[in-house]
Amino acid sequence: MVEPVQKTARPEFKTRLSAFGINHAQVLLSSLGRIFRNPFAGMMTVSVIAIALALPAGFYVLLQNAQQISAGWDGAARISLYLKSELDKVGAERLADELRILPEVEKLRLIDKAEALREFKALSGFGDALDALDSNPLPTVIVITPVIDTESAQNMEGFLERLRERPEVDLAQLDLQWVKRLYTITRLIQRGLLIIAAMLGLAVILVIGNTIRLDIQNRRVEIEVNKLIGATNAFIRRPFLYTGFWYGFLGGILACILVTVGLGMLRTPVKRLAGLYDSGFELMTLQFTSIITLITLAVVLGWLGSRLAVGRHLREIEPG
């Protein structure tokens, strides 16, 4: 009886895979050691990368804080619907229920005539004069807080026109100009921040690429010898790519530290200023996801800069 042959992984493949992983780990650690063997030059490069990354990252966090503050201003963008005087309380409540479920409405408040009169007396200072009137001249008001973001702010005029067409509405008011200005300024800042980030990202690529180019020139003889004994371009390129990885990684970590320290220095003055306006606002710092994103972006830029430099200059080195 013939026993079935069991399929097993070839020992040669496992050995090659293990050797491949060990080689990459050795090159990864040796490239880090090469940076620390020349600490002054290495830290200069890492510092330049960190500053270039920290500037857009810090402005991004400040923009997020500004948007958090402006979110409180959105409450002032209220649509006031002054209902017709002949509309009774039941009709006003029915209209309020219909409007409350609309997607453009975030919050809605119904102010009847009696409540409107009480508020006007308390805020205007003409309480005695109003008491002399035979009837309440104020209409029922529906105050709507619309949903506002960079897209819906553009459609608010259409929403306001639809409200004006309601037969129960006598007058609908909303100051759209400051809302448009607010979000136009926000988009302008975002676009400018994107341009600055792109330029500084290009600067990071150029700095790392130039550093790797100098490293290649310094190791020219070593590269020629490796090519003479049969080393492939991928084998020679590997330590330089890992060097770019470490420059990006260390620069990203230092950038996170710089942003955190800088925002920490602003936290107390901002809190004191917010207290003067009776606000509980606290300065927001880098979140965990932002830290991971910044470090990942720095690593990608580091790898890209080293890849471009190695791809260009390594082809120029051939044993003579």
Please indicate, yes or no, whether residues 60 and 102 belong to a single structural domain of this protein: no
Whether 292 and 195 share a structural domain: yes
Q: Which domain holds residue 124?
A: 78-174
Question: Does 36 share its domain with 60?
Answer: yes
Write the pLDDT tens digit of every residue in 120-131: 666 655 656 666
- Rounded Cα gap, residues 217 and 313, in angstroms: 9
In a domain, 23, yes or no: no
CA distance 20 to 9: 17
Structure tokens at 2: 């013939």
Query: What is the domain count for the chain?
Result: 2
pLDDT, tens only, 168-211: 888 888 766 666 677 778 888 889 999 999 999 999 999 999 99
The model's confidence at residue 1, banded by pLDDT at 50, 70 and 90, is very low
Tokens of 180: 């448009």
pLDDT for 55: 92
Q: What is the pLDDT of residue 11?
A: 62
Please report, in angstroms and rounded to a whole number, the separation of the first and last CA atoms in the chain: 64
181, part of any domain: no
> For the chain, what percent of residues have pLDDT higher than 70?
80
Beta strands in the chain (DSSP E): 79-83, 105-111, 141-146, 169-173
Q: What are phi and psi of 7, to 5 degrees?
A: -80, 120
- What is the pLDDT at residue 91? 86
Domain-located, residue 248:
yes
Contacting residues for 291 by C-beta, under 8 A, at least 6 apart: 256
Sheet holding 105-111, edge to edge: 105-111, 141-146, 79-83, 169-173
